[in-house]
């Protein structure tokens, strides 16, 4: 997974895509649903890096669905925020707003620094300055 992220960060989208696809396949074979969800997010990242945003969102939605099925509230919130950005890129602003509102509601269950940053990012994108 880290190798895929490094490849994506250095602009090697196709190599990253291959790495994440292999990770997803391995996780699926092992029955590692969380690992598969993470790999789906990685595939979405690699596709975004390759400017294939519509395809990226398909995989991001699959990751959201997988995290929901696992009951992983935090990962669902993070994945929804990425999904919202994809929707905005596609011009689907109303759907992006719904995804952000759901992500914000989920992030409210947490009070660590990462959750507070995510919540602020979501509030800003929703046009709500939030607490402060």
Give one DSSP letter per residue of 6-49, joined into a string. Answer: HHHHTT-HHHHHHHHHHHHHHHHHHT-HHHHHHHHHHHHHHHHH
The Cβ of residue 89 has, within 10 Å, a number of other Cβ atoms equal to: 15
pLDDT of the chain along its 132 residues, tens only? Answer: 778 788 888 888 888 999 999 999 999 999 999 999 999 999 999 999 999 999 999 999 999 999 999 999 999 999 999 999 999 988 999 999 999 999 999 999 899 999 999 999 999 999 976 665
45 and 82 in a single domain? The answer is no
Instruction: Assess if residue 64 is contained within a domain.
Output: no
Q: Using CA atoms, how far apart are residues 85 and 126, in angstroms rounded to an integer?
A: 12
40 and 91 in a single domain? The answer is no
Instruction: Assess if residue 67 is contained within a domain.
Output: no
Tally of structural domains, the chain: 2
46 and 102 in a single domain? The answer is no
Q: HEC profile for 95-116?
A: HHHHHHHHHHHHHCCCCCHHHH
46 and 78 in a single domain? The answer is no
Using the structure block, give the residue that is written with the tokens 């945003």: 53
Give me the phi and psi of 108, to 5 degrees please. -65, -20
Full-model pTM = 0.88
Q: Domain range holding 19? A: 1-51
Instruction: Assess if residue 61 is contained within a domain.
Output: no
């Amino acid at each position: 997974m880290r190798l895929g992220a490094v490849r994506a960060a250095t602009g090697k989208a196709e190599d990253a895509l291959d790495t994440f696809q292999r990770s997803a396949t391995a996780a699926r074979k092992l029955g590692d649903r969380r690992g598969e969800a993470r790999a789906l997010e990685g595939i979405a990242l690699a596709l975004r890096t390759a400017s294939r945003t519509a395809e990226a969102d398909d995989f991001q939605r699959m990751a959201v669905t997988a995290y929901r099925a696992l009951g992983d509230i935090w990962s669902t919130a993070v994945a929804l925020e990425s999904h919202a950005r994809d929707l905005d890129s596609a011009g689907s602003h109303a759907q992006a707003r719904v995804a952000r509102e759901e992500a914000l509601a989920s992030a409210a269950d947490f009070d660590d620094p990462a959750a507070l940053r995510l919540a602020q990012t979501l509030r800003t994108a929703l046009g709500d300055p939030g607490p402060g």
